[in-house]
Amino acid sequence: MRKLEILIVEDTPKHLEDVKTEVARLKEKGQEINVAYATNYTTARELIASREFDGIVSDVFIPESEGKVSSPETIQRCKEVLPSRYFEEPRNYDLFWRGVEIDYKRNPTPYEQGAMQEFFQYNAIEKWTNGEAQAPLGTLVAEDAKAKRVPLVFCSATYHHGHKAQPVCTYAITNQIPFIDSGSGYFEDKDRKNWEKALQNVIDNCKTD
């Protein structure tokens, strides 16, 4: 049986060290895997285009390339794959609040409505463009993976990102992407990620043909 080819996309040194430790543990237990690593979107995109992977585990907020601000073109691509309602002036979903014929596909939940308003006020595009904050380019990794029909799992600690992560959560739900999170509070667990669960998830769902 051939070894599984896995790509891990992670830019934070501590998280990268943690996942390498977990990969070593899996190998010691007999898991047959080869692992490649990318610390930015450009490297991940090139690896996905040039190699055949069975599965991918990706962080959400990653740089486009080392030490550089994401290009306007890349940010625009990122915006286009995220739910458009997060970038529009918030409006009142009266139909939802009255509880009349609720359509959950079109009308957000009360929590998501709050997230939409906070995200709009956050002015994400400007912050992503000037480098004040990283864009969720993990969504573009997911798009590249989808184009090659490679299973992908998000592994992050989104709670310390607050509502900035909500568009990605909605994107993941819409695209049926497993999202392995690690915390349950705004500042909780931001220094660790659940690599064990993420790796096991992607191994269980690896492409086999």
Separation of alpha carbons 202 and 153, rounded Å: 6
Q: What is the pTM of this model?
A: 0.86
Mean per-residue pLDDT, 82-104: 60
pLDDT higher than 60, residue 186 = no
How much is the pLDDT for 49?
97
Higher pLDDT, 119 or 32: 32
How much is the pLDDT for 190?
57
How much is the pLDDT for 53?
97
**Structural domains in the chain?**
4-204 (3.40.50.2300)
Separation of alpha carbons 31 and 112, rounded Å: 39
Separation of alpha carbons 11 and 181, rounded Å: 17
Here the tokens at position 81 are 């794959």
Instruction: Indicate the average pLDDT of the chain.
Output: 85
**What is the per-residue pLDDT across 168-177, written as a single tens digit (0 to 9) for each?**
988 999 999 9
How much is the pLDDT for 102?
44
Instruction: Place 93 in a pLDDT band, splitting at 50, 70 and 90.
Output: low
**What is the per-residue pLDDT across 52-81, written as a single tens digit (0 to 9) for each?**
999 999 999 999 998 888 999 999 999 999
DSSP label of 87: G
pLDDT higher than 80, residue 184 = no
**Helix, strand, coil content of the chain in percent (nearest 5):** 50, 10, 40
Contact between 172 and 179 under an 8 Å Cβ cutoff? The reply is yes
- Chain mean position to CA 35: 19
**What is the per-residue pLDDT across 18-27, written as a single tens digit (0 to 9) for each?**
999 999 999 9
How much is the pLDDT for 118?
79
Higher pLDDT, 74 or 96: 74
